[in-house]
Each structure stands twice: as structure tokens, then as C-alpha cells.
Copies of this chain bind each other. A is one copy, B any other.
Amino acid sequence: MRYFIVYAHPEPRSLNGSLKDAAVQALEQAGHEVRVSDLYAMAFKAVADAWDFPMRDAGSRLVYHRESEQAYKAGQLQPEVAREIENLLWSEVVVLQFPLWWFGPPAILKGWFDRVLVNGFAIGVPKEGTRQWLRYGEGTLAGRRGIVAVTTGGREAQFSPRGINGAIDEILFPINHGIFHYTGIQPLSPFVAFRTVRTTPQEFVQLRDRYVARLLAAGDEAPIPYRFENGGDYDEAGQLREGVAEGETGFAAHLVRTGEG
């Protein structure tokens, strides 16, 4: 399979860096193709701004999502952005690997979302012959699988369903549901390494093996069963219909339950 790893950590000699290196080696040894975007090593520009559109009228009012859609359709995206889109299209498995900073991805990865997932490509794609959009289960990137691989400073209990930080699955909902599922990528359950600052060498070996095993199995795992926008569970306003997850609110309501439907 073709793995595209988007990796965001400032220190190659970190636990994150070692996990990434081990993943690349193991995947290639198993005969897979691997591409890595090491955002720090690339000095990937994090900030979405007017610089991204050298061809635009510099005096006009910048509406970023409109400008990026035009640049995309005209083949005038910055080469570094166009290359990431090409990597996404090439891939069969997308891995987002990063340390969780303030309950989200490092800014350099957030900026990758902001700049690469352009309008007309990852969002704003109409479903032909309907008044619907290709999103939340459908989209340009459908057919691919995605996995978030994250390290945390906090302990597992703090990220448990009743933990004070919020459950890790809910903290990652904006990525698993809001980016992967939104663009058609099937999200797998995340790989999480908690409290990595305390990792012993023995624990690292176990962690590394667990990570490699998860990546190697990416083609076989059942994805997180988020509901499809155009699958009948939502009304035209984008809300769960009566009778679907009746009485429930919160992120978990967007999961199909066993035995349902």
C-alpha cells in the first residue's frame, strides 16, 4: 500500500521522531511505499495568508477560501501546497503524527490543514446531479484511510471518558470527523502514546512495535463508524433526524451504533 505520513515535531531525536523513523523502516521492509512530509524539516509555512497567491490583485480584499479555490483550479497553488495535494491523491493511507499541544496539533500541522485542504478539493465539492455536497463520508479523498498518531504529556486516566482533559476520542473528533471523515477519508481509531515524557527504553520498544503493528494493519481495521451526511441520518439543515440517536447530543451521537439501521 501507499502510506503518506505527515509528521510534525521539531526534534528528530524525540520519541516522535524515533516512532516515525521506525514506522518508515518497517513499512518499507514490508514492501509498502512511503512518503513523509516532515513539516519542520521542510520549514512548511504554517500561516495562510496573501503570500500564498502571488498572482492575485494585491489591492483586492483577501478572501482566503475563494482565492485558494481559484488558484487550485488554475493550477497556481504554491508548489509546496500542490505537492501535498499530490501526496494525498497518491496515498492509500494518510498518517498524521504529532505531539498533542494544548489539546490540538502543533501550529505547523494546523497550518497544513489550513493551506492544503483547499476549497474545490477537500471542501466545497458539489455532488453531481444533487443539491448536496461531497463531504462527511464522501469526497475527493474517498477510498483512503486515515490514522492519527499522537503523543501526550498527560496520563491516560486524564484522557479517559471521565478524565479531566476530556476523552481523547472527543479531543480528536475535529480531526477524525472534521478532517478525515469530512474529506471522505475513513478514520481508524487513533494511535495514542500517553505520558511519553516518562517512557523507558523497554516501554519504547513496546510502543514502537504497537505503532508499527497498527500501521501495517491499516488496510484491515474497521474504521470509526461516523454517519454519512448524505446517508439519511441528517435532515436538510444538517441535524440528526428524529429517531436517530434519539435524545442524544455531543460528538458521540454521530457514531452509528451496533445493531442500528
Interface residues of A, Cβ cutoff 8 Å to B? 10-11, 13-14, 40, 46-50, 61-65, 101-108, 110-111, 113-114, 117, 136, 153-155, 157-158, 160-167, 170-171, 173-174, 177-179, 227, 229, 234, 237-240, 245, 248-254
Contact = CB atoms under 8 A, between A and B. Distances in A.
A165 B136 CA distance: 9
Nearest to A164: B238
Contact of A108 (B47, B136, B178, B234): B47
The 9 closest A-B pairs by CB, nearest first: A107-B111, A161-B249, A103-B174, A157-B237, A158-B238, A103-B178, A46-B46, A107-B110, A11-B62
B178 A251 contact: no
15 contacts: A10-B50, A10-B64, A14-B63, A102-B174, A105-B110, A106-B114, A107-B107, A107-B113, A110-B110, A163-B238, A164-B234, A166-B178, A166-B254, A167-B250, A170-B173
Contact of A49 (B40, B63, B158): B40
Contacts of A48: 10, 101, 106-107
Main secondary structure of the interface of A (DSSP, over half): loop
Given A238-B158, A254-B164, A47 B49 contact: no
